[in-house]
Each structure stands twice: as structure tokens, then as C-alpha cells.
Amino acid sequence: MTEKIVLITGATRGLGLEAAMQLLQQGATVILTGRDISKGNEITAKLQQNYPQADFMPLVMSEPAGMGTIYEQVKAKYGRLDVLINNAAVTSTRSSTETGERATNTILSMDIADVKSIFETNVWGLLQLTRTLLPLLQESPAGRIINMSSELGSMHYQSDLTSPVYHVKRFGYNSSKTMVNLITIYLRELLVNTAISVFAVSPGWVKTGMGTAAACLEVPEGANIMVRAALEDVPENGFFTHDWQAIPW
């Protein structure tokens, strides 16, 4: 394949790191990003032993002021960006009502300040970074924006008594993913006549720190949907989970 330049947010652990490794194995140049500079440099140095095209750039999703810096870094070093994977997300920014039992309905007990903090990373950070890096994606012959969402953000599943996630009503995280889906739809409409494709994908319920050990999928299985969306000719007009199964919005 033609070498692709891929930037992944939240790539120093979990699904983001696994996706980075799978993409590196496929020959892509991968820019890992994360807030922990020391950890990011350490992980990237290890990856570079086998994949010299691995790179790291520090990024804090809740701090828009730093996004101009990463734009300048990518532009100076690579001149373009082929794939942006918006993977970074938080379930809560503190020990609060958004943590604890998976099936807890938090609409009355949630900390509003916590929900706002979740949105700073999961929604506004994602949107601001996408807007900032869009000129670099426009330099690609076939740019892709991949927004990592969740079945928990599906309005259909949240309202369907028979859905597997009906009782999982953690308002802050779930509503942030609903917003990610809406951002995807709006971007897709805006960019429909361009060379940029926009995807909303979910890894499914994966055994990560966020998904817990009770989840049914291993990390490589969950991360693979990012890799497929980045490299393969897959459907764009929808919301998909692992094995490219469609999810209702």
C-alpha cells in the first residue's frame, strides 16, 4: 500500500496503542499522541526498535491552545495527514457519579461539572482538533476522519428496551458519544464532495481500563475496526462496530 500518515489521539495505552501497533505492522507512519510526554516517548522509543516510522507528539485534548502546535509539527515534518483517528476519551474526570456500576442511571446523581469536563475531551476537544488538522487532511489524496464512538451513544439503543445497553445510562459519557455521532454526520455532509471520508465506529465492549475485565472482546479485536477504517475500502454511510456490523444511530 502507499504509506499512509496516521495520527491517533489517546494512543499511549489501550485501544489507541493497539491500533497504532497494528497500523505500524501494515507499514503506516503513525503519530501517537497523549498527554503524558514521558510515557509517550518511552512507548515510541520501544516501537521504533521494530518500526522506525513511529512518532510521538504530546497532545492534551481538553486544551485547544496546544492544537495549533501539533498542526505545525505535522505540517513541518510530513506536509499532510492521511488519517485522523479521534480515539481519546474519558468516562469521568474524577471519582464521581459517572463511575461505579455499569448499569447505573446517573441523570439525577451526576456532577454537572464532571459532565462538562467529559465533554471538553470527548466532544469539544475532538471537534477542535479535527477543525485544526483539516487543512492537512485536505492535502491527502484520500483523507479519512475516524471518530471512535460507542453503542452507548446510540439513541435507538438507549430507547429500545430490548437493546443490550438499554440499562447502561451513564449520562456524561453516553451523551458525549451521541454528540460524536452528530459531529460525524455533520462533517460527512460538509465534506461529501471532497476527497475526505468520515466514519463513526465503535470497538464494541472491550477489555480495557474503561471497558473493564467483564467485557467480551480482547483489545486487538476492538482496535481492529480503527485499522480497517483507516486502510480498507469499507462502507462510510453509517455507524459501525466490530466486524463492520451496522449500529442504528
What CATH number is associated with residue 72?
3.40.50.720
C-alpha cell belonging to residue 10: 489517546
Cα-flanking dihedrals φ and ψ of residue 200, to 5°?
A: -115, 120
CA distance linking residue 194 with residue 27, whole number of Å = 26
Sequential pLDDT tens for the chain (249 residues):
468 999 999 999 989 999 999 999 999 999 999 999 999 999 999 999 999 999 999 999 999 889 999 999 999 999 999 999 999 999 886 644 444 555 678 999 999 999 999 999 999 999 999 999 999 999 999 999 999 999 899 999 899 999 888 998 999 999 999 999 999 999 999 999 999 999 999 886 554 555 445 545 677 777 888 899 999 998 887 888 867 788 889
Q: How many CB atoms lie within 10 A of CB 182?
A: 15
CA distance linking residue 116 with residue 7, whole number of Å = 26
At CA 138, angle to CA 135 and CA 131, rounded to 5? 40
On whether the pTM is more than 0.95, the answer is: no
Write out the E strands in the chain.
5-8, 29-34, 54-58, 83-86, 144-148, 197-201, 239-241, 245-246
Structural domain span for residue 156? 5-246
Write out the E strands in 113-168.
144-148
Nearest to 122 by CA among 145, 93, 162, 151: 93
The count of domains in the chain is 1
